[in-house]
Chains A and B, each alone.
Chain A
Amino acid sequence: MDTGSVVDTLKVRDAKDVEEVVRAAIANEQPLEIIGHGSKRGIGHAMATNAVLDLSALNAVTSYEPNELIITLQAGAPLADVLALIDTKNQQFAFEPVNTAPLLGTPALGTIGGMIAAGLAGPRRIRAGGARDHLLGAHAVSGFGDSFKTGGKVVKNVTGYDLCKLLAGSWGTLSVMTEVTLKVMPKPEAERTLLLRGLDDAAANKAMTAALGSPFDVSGAAHLPKSAFRAKTDGLGDLAGQDEALTVLRLEGITASAAHRANSLRELLAPFGTATLIEDAASAALWATIRDVLPFAASGALGAWPVWRIVCPPASGAALGSQLARETGGDVIYDWGGGLIWAALPPKGDAHAPAVRMRANAVGGHATLIQAAEDVRREVDVFHRQAPGIAALSERVRASFDPKAVLNRGRLSRGAVA
């Protein structure tokens, strides 16, 4: 954003206001930046606008029906408040939304709208799906300035195209969501995490593959190489002090079952070493650390390093991550059984983009530059460039919602839209 000019922030109160602002934006050919709390503003490219549509006052809980496993919220509802609310009924968003605040060095957890628009899911992604799997319905204002709805308030619904899937992860470039209905799920009664120590990346990848291919319903599979402990990290407690790589596998459910499966899995993984066990609160703290990528937090030793988020076929993770770390002198953390790699790489003008993208492409993966200084983001594609046919289709899809590109213009690609 050009901070030299006056920024006009429009704080909307209802969907009607959003329609008016978007219509005015169309008429004035004035693109809008869409924000909630602005917690993820640092992700993506600088936008070609000095008008901000602020959804933070659209913050009501429309309805919460624990027995129906759904909650309907206005897009500006603070995520922290919503998580606290559903926690009173012992429920959660099963996809474990990532709190990007520590990574980006921002204060707020953000809003529900931002959570969906970014679509960043945590460790349970491998079992419970992502934000896209939990968004059941939405009301939104398109770039035509019209409110529309899609989906519904029930889990099972195939009525019309599933536009919710497009809205999730669209970074506000298709429509301005005003109200969403999300699936909530019961929190597991117990959690157990097995810890294997001292494995190299390749062995850890094999151990995670064995665990995820077992019938023991593993809900988290991550690997922290030894180097990930060089930055002092909250949430790891005394686990960090031992200076050994840590491979961790989570089992959740009713107490008897989680304990039983932990034992069975320990036996299965015996060839990889003797696993130790942590329970409930200690386990939850560890997984929150992995979910929020705390070893790479802005306040930590690697805070100045650019951070990549690489998604790839899970069994390819270790080869990709370890080669990248060796080549750049960077650090990596593996989640999703190897299918998600967080990479903090030493500062460089291009954030090592060619190496990252070449290696990701080689295995059919893709990489997003989640955290980097603005001058780096001017030089590098933050989001993965797609094959020409897919890119052209995606642009037609975008234009079908927002033909004048008034919504978050330029956020997803450098110079794609003037």
Chain B
Amino acid sequence: MAIMMPASDQAVLARRAEIVAALRAFVPGEGVIDTPAEMRAYESDGLTAYRQPPMVVVLPDTTEQVSLILKYCAGQGIKVVPRGSGTSLSGGALPLEDGVLLGLGKFKRIREIDFDNRVVVTEPGVTNLAISQAVAHAGFYYAPDPSSQIACSIGGNVAENSGGVHCLKYGMTTNNVLGCEIVLMSGEILRIGGKGCENPGYDLMGVITGSEGLLGVITEITVRILQKPETARALMVGFAEVEAAGECVARIIGAGIIPGGMEMMDKPAIHAAEAFVHAGYPLDVEALLIIELDGPKIEVDELITRVETIARGCGSVTLQISNSEAERNLFWAGRKAAFPAVGRISPDYLCMDGTIPRGALPKALARIRELGEKYQLGCANVFHAGDGNLHPLILYDANKPGEIERAEAFGADILRACVEFGGVLTGEHGVGIEKRDLMPDMFSEIDLNQQQRLKCAFDSQGLLNPGKVFPTLHRCAELGRMHVHAGKLAFPDLPRF
């Protein structure tokens, strides 16, 4: 394991049997798992290169149980790692050797569907897709759609602020959640927000969303739901040069059109996808755009025409427009299967996740090509082109000595380039352990200290999911210390009134 996790607390490990017994008092029966064989299912999440069996797994099914567990662990100085469905691609749910893994998988109930207020109140273990399915009969859906939506839990979506193909138009998780019930590490149960548009006071919901399980354990969520658009159609456009495809994206946005989704694939990704799903993708183009317009039919038809004109003006070499749902789904089939398709052509791959300003796309792809040559590894790129979110898939073979290290170094260089081009380390997958040590490339020590002080306001002992997001851990007392600056006003030349 290339990444250092916080040192295990030997005193805690020595008391394992006692801790397991205490947890059994809170969660009876099969809710506590402590045999190595049964715990194996929990030793990694979607970032499978990293594995660590936890000290013990506990699967509560009530908020009160969560509260008792956390209060006990806080009192005993025991670390806790929360976990939803375990689909994180950044290692957010990687267990700790001396930590309790707190799984929310039994929180599977949708508590309330309120069509008049257009919200669903749900437990965190419900899958993203299940929410949409529960309201589909009335024409509603939940908009954020991470590609793992069949499996990923809504609690995990809130923890990671998950995105998806449609977030260009409909926002990320943070733009679609209204409230939650959260249990702090102290065991305190708090309710934040509700069915109204805005919450009073500081926007705690906003900062909890995307906090990667470091601030609290969410036990209930209120999400807003939308009416499904009347129809959707897609264009599939090929370009001989990546620059032309990038220009096309810029002109569509510049024309005031916000598509439901706008995806780009480069040549290696197109070839891998076509070989896998036979969607009829053109194989001799350098970049393929899939642009989906959704809304009322009259609007979609008009915008399809406008986008077609823009694409031809940018020198498209192939252009198809979907005329049926079957055709639209076929356009998407390759893109949606891009990760497994790449999995077929390479024994292993690393999926990266940086965001760049849209205009930096050609330069970013050129840099990735250079880096591929430097590291002697292939790379296929899929890209949420509308919002600048890049997913390079680095191809490697874990059985070849040194390749995974080279792949990780390649990935780190790509993310550093994203920051260099004015972007950020992660667009939707989270920092977790994967990008933790790159945080200083984007943030100064002062920036990171301010973030960690916020953590202290929620979890003063630093027991909840430690080792994630922040490369260096500080004690709260140390972070809260004030530098004493020289007294008196030190700015004689400042205009004063």
Contacts and interface: CB of A to CB of B under 8 A. Distances in A.
Contacts, number: 307
B357 A153 contact: yes
A169 B203 CA distance: 8
B206 A256 contact: no
Interface string B22-62: 00000000000000000000000000000000000000000
Interface string A147-180: 1111011111111111111101110001000000
B203 to A, nearest CB: 4
Interface in A1-58: 8-13, 17, 20-21, 23-24, 26-28, 54, 57
Contacts of A313: 114, 117, 194-196
A148 B447 contact: yes
Interface string B176-208: 000000001000111110111111111111110
B111 to A, nearest CB: 15
B494 A394 contact: no
Interface stretch (B4-12, B322-330, B369-377, B482-490): B482-490
A282 B230 CA distance: 28
Interface stretch (B100-108, B291-299, B401-409): B291-299
A86 interface: no
B160 interface: yes
Given A66-B254, A129-B175, A142 B196 contact: no
A328 interface: no
Contact of B358 (A67, A159, A174, A261): A67
Interface of B is mostly: loop
Given A261-B296, A364-B194, A152 B423 contact: yes
A223 to B, nearest CB: 15
Interface string A239-274: 000000000000001101100110010000000000
Interface string B406-450: 000000000000000011111111110001000100111011111
Q: Is the interface of A mostly helix, strand, loop or mixed?
A: mixed
Contact of B196 (A121, A261, A312): A312
Contacts of B486: 23, 27
Which of B115, B449, B457 counts the most chain A CB atoms within 10 A?
B457
A352 interface: no
Contact of B188 (A155, A160, A389, A399): A389
B400 interface: no
Given A215-B139, A260-B296, A155 B200 contact: no
Interface stretch (B77-85, B237-245, B277-285, B381-389): B381-389
B264 interface: no
Interface stretch (B148-156, B166-174, B265-273): B166-174
B426 A159 contact: yes
B346 interface: no
Contacts of A132: 203, 206
B180 to A, nearest CB: 12
Q: Quick one: which of A129, A159, A216, A387 has the most chain B CB within 10 A?
A: A159
A126 interface: yes
Contact of B203 (A165, A256, A260, A383): A165
A159 B227 contact: no
A180 to B, nearest CB: 15
B253 A67 contact: yes
Given A27-B488, A70-B357, A257-B302, 4 more contacts: A148-B446, A152-B355, A217-B295, A396-B458
11 contacts: A68-B388, A153-B357, A158-B161, A158-B427, A159-B424, A162-B207, A165-B205, A214-B227, A217-B296, A400-B454, A412-B201
List of 7 A-B pairs having minimum Cβ-Cβ separation, nearest first: A165-B206, A186-B256, A257-B299, A313-B195, A396-B457, A315-B116, A366-B200
